[in-house]
Chains A and B, each alone.
Chain A
């Protein structure tokens, strides 16, 4: 498989008043033309891994890696100008807080249209047409109306879909989707996933899919990395997620509420301090 992304020994550190905090601690993986799921603890470094790839870690955060390559090109060596090009055209990231990532004082449709004009050389009218098509593609019911809305006027799930529409525009080689469908009802979720799936199958895009939804990751992704305390503690073929071995992953599977099997109290996970110190497992293939 073509290696789109190759990450070796990635660290993200934040100086804090109690010393250096290591948010990501030596993560390694490769991404091919596939759907790579990342699940894990809240605060385990999933979003920071995604942001580090795009070099979007805010100061005073520090990123180091032995290797971080996009198609063989060293991302760490690129200038800020080159990185902007990578972000605009080659790697798209759907942020976990969609509304926060949109410009609050600009109509959402206009934001999509401008993203399109930046990328192609089209007229305003064509860009608007394209933006309306994108809104329709992500199952927005009334594209004309939503085009003219401001971010604070759209619902949680509409905000997520607007972000997705925007990130699809550059036809990226890699998409990093950080909990892209957490606010969507199932039928809309399926439609949105189909769009991403199609890009992977037909265009050979690589998708990093960060999610807390174990069943979804298991059925949608090809491989999964399980993160705990800044490290990868287990890697699995996605459809084998339910046969996971690591006690953290097992604990996750056991704490899921189930429609068909209601319980009084949900099982909670006993976290073993030894998990923090285990070596990070490589997610490279």
Chain B
């Protein structure tokens, strides 16, 4: 069974002359327990694909299948236990008047967990935040600390699928290494499925088996990480993107 199957997905916003076709005919699949990366140009529709899976808007057509179930435009609570997302913009995704403790306990009780107190401590420890952060509010946290709260919240309901939108872009590379190791461990232990967006090809290469390269709302190419490393591409855009990233990576 696949974790995620996307077939001919179209997403648009606005109507008539204001209409934006953010995603055009995207297709790819992620096996259950697999890890798939979306990379490509800024504004090419990567976040939009994740948000469509989460059911954050209705203006899409095509097929989205998650854990064998074809999704309609409605999502129930069970869906949000199984599928969680870490948003690109952690500030916007955390409520300004909710403390870290409130955010996590609300999510945990919503999904019927009982040992909330112990779970919060464990979640904070997992993302490298000490107990001192538990009663802080978002504005009392640094950018990377907020991002880690967002990751802890997504892990809280023990989801089977994680949609990760630039999960480590606000973290220093040592914390990034800890989070990436945590994500690898969780995937090995619980057979989690990851769909991750990142512009950092080294990060994608570390965590993912396959990637889709996007430009202007379309998937231009799907390729394996081995092919990515070896610059084995079919499309010019992919090659340009990879070369720019690697050349620039090796420059230092």
**In residues 170-184 of chain A, which contact B (Cβ within 8 Å)?**
178-179, 182-184
Whether A259 contacts B252 by the Cβ 8 Å rule is no
Whether B184 contacts A265 by the Cβ 8 Å rule is yes
CB A30 to nearest CB in B, in angstroms, measures 24
Whether A219 contacts B252 by the Cβ 8 Å rule is yes
- Give complex CA distance A185, B251 in Å: 17
Contacts A96-B170, A185-B241, A252-B172; A47 near B142 (Cβ below 8 A): yes
CB A38 to nearest CB in B, in angstroms, measures 11
- Give complex CA distance A186, B145 in Å: 25
Whether A184 contacts B173 by the Cβ 8 Å rule is no
**In the complex, which residue of chain A has the Cβ closest to the Cβ of B41?**
A185
Q: Mark B221-252, 1 if CB is under 8 A from A, else 0.
A: 00000001100000000001100111011111
Q: List 8 A-B contacts (CB under 8 A).
A: A41-B175, A156-B88, A185-B41, A185-B199, A212-B172, A216-B252, A260-B249, A266-B177
- Give complex CA distance A97, B175 in Å: 19
Q: Which 8 A-B pairs have the closest CB atoms?
A: A42-B144, A157-B42, A215-B252, A266-B177, A255-B177, A269-B174, A257-B206, A97-B91
- Give complex CA distance A252, B175 in Å: 9
Report A-chain residues with C-beta under 8 Å of the C-beta of B135. 17
- Give B contacts to A, CB under 8 Å: 13, 20, 39-43, 47, 88-89, 91-92, 132, 135, 139-145, 148, 165-166, 169-178, 180-181, 184, 199, 201-203, 205-206, 228-229, 240-241, 244-246, 248-252
CB A21 to nearest CB in B, in angstroms, measures 9
Report B-chain residues with C-beta under 8 Å of the C-beta of A99. 89, 91-92
Whether A58 contacts B177 by the Cβ 8 Å rule is no
Whether B170 contacts A259 by the Cβ 8 Å rule is no
Whether B201 contacts A259 by the Cβ 8 Å rule is yes
Report B-chain residues with C-beta under 8 Å of the C-beta of A56. none
Report B-chain residues with C-beta under 8 Å of the C-beta of A219. 248, 251-252
- Give complex CA distance A182, B20 in Å: 25
Whether A266 contacts B139 by the Cβ 8 Å rule is no
Report B-chain residues with C-beta under 8 Å of the C-beta of A42. 142-145, 148, 170-172, 175
Given contacts A40-B172, A58-B139, 4 further A-B contacts (CB under 8 A): A43-B141, A155-B42, A257-B203, A266-B181
